[in-house]
Amino acid sequence: MELLAPSRWRCADFISDLHLQAADRATFLAWAHYMQTTTADAVFILGDLFEVWVGDDAAQLAGSFEAECVGILRAAGNRLALFIMQGNRDFLMGSDLMAACQASALPDPSTLDFAGQRWLLSHGDALCLDDHAYQAFRLQVRSNDWQQAFLNQTLAQRQEVARGIRQTSESRKQAGTVYADVDVAAALALMDQAKADHLIHGHTHRPGQNNLNAEKMRSVLSDWDLQASPPRAQVLRITCQADGTASLLRMAVTAA
């Protein structure tokens, strides 16, 4: 997808890897406060908004955590431009969710023309080519057959699978697993194809900014964990200056 920012946009925010779940109320509250108060014209959520998403019908249960999140998203989507990209944890987010949230689904990758630059947006997992086991898993679960078979299970069955996924993830985290970074050659090839000079992605949990080569730059988004020590939560804000150029700022988000 190619997006041309409206001329009225002065500011766009980018976040990813919030891994929202009912068990982490602190992160949810910080995210909710941010969504309710951001002054940006647009918010781009580049994947892994949720720790796991078992299907859009989960948000139809009144009083559920998923329904609470949808309420926050809908309120934001009614006052600003909201774009949501699937990640490796919430790739089952579908059209029903986007409609409920007043959000636009953002394919991975997408390009954005804003503030005098062309930005390539991605969650980043598809570019982590050294993680062979994950790439094989990704190929399997992104197939229509796998997704249809999974979604045909009852909500209770899918939620049980989700609990197993969370337990496995927590075990890997406690074991100090080092996650693969994006493949530079693959990232540069994708940027050349998109005619973009700046890549923005998440997934790797290695926030920062660096040159991929002499001409190409990337910004890696922060994951969010308000229960960590120190807490982690950042927003990457791009502002269009008076001269039409872009200014980048990383803003720390604190507990509400």
User: Over the stretch 1-18, which tens digit does the pLDDT of each residue have?
Assistant: 999 999 999 999 999 999
- Distance CA(22)–CA(151), nearest Å, equals 21
Mean pLDDT value across residues 85-102: 97
pLDDT classification of 256: cutoffs 50, 70, 90: low
pLDDT at 107: 98
Q: Tell me the pLDDT tens digit for each residue of 138-185.
A: 999 999 999 999 999 999 999 998 888 778 777 776 766 777 899 999
Q: Tell me the pLDDT tens digit for each residue of 117-127.
A: 999 999 999 99
Structure tokens at 88: 């490796």
Residues 45, 16 contacting (CB under 8 angstroms) = yes
Apex 115 CA angle, 111 and 118, nearest 5: 25
Lookup result for tokens 């069955």: 157
199, 203, 208: which is closest to 234 by C-alpha?
Answer: 208
Residue 226 has pLDDT above 90, yes or no: yes
Question: Strands 246-252, 42-46: parallel, antiparallel or unpaired by DSSP?
Answer: unpaired
Apex 17 CA angle, 153 and 63, nearest 5: 50
Structure tokens at 189: 């090839």
Neighbours of 79 (CB within 10 A): 11
When the pLDDT of each residue in the chain is averaged and rounded to a whole number, the result is 95
Residue 96 has pLDDT above 80, yes or no: yes
Apex 144 CA angle, 3 and 202, nearest 5: 45
Q: Does domain 2-252 have CATH number 3.60.21.10?
A: yes
Residues 18, 32 contacting (CB under 8 angstroms) = no
pLDDT at 175: 67
Mean pLDDT value across residues 104-115: 98
- Distance CA(195)–CA(54), nearest Å, equals 35
pLDDT at 170: 74
Q: What is the 8-class DSSP label of residue 152?
A: T
Mean pLDDT value across residues 232-242: 97
Residues 124, 108 contacting (CB under 8 angstroms) = no
Who's near 100: CB < 8 A, 6+ residues apart? 56, 59, 70, 73, 74
- Distance CA(225)–CA(37), nearest Å, equals 19
Mean pLDDT value across residues 182-207: 97
Mean pLDDT value across residues 75-86: 98
- Lowest mean pLDDT of 89-98, 167-176, 232-241, name the range: 167-176
148, 150, 170: which is closest to 159 by C-alpha?
Answer: 150
Q: What is the pTM of this model?
A: 0.96
- Distance CA(256)–CA(27), nearest Å, equals 9
- Distance CA(44)–CA(244), nearest Å, equals 20
pLDDT at 111: 98
110, 84, 80: which is closest to 97 by C-alpha?
Answer: 84
pLDDT classification of 65: cutoffs 50, 70, 90: very high
Residue 241 has pLDDT above 70, yes or no: yes
Residue spans of the domains in the chain: they are 2-252
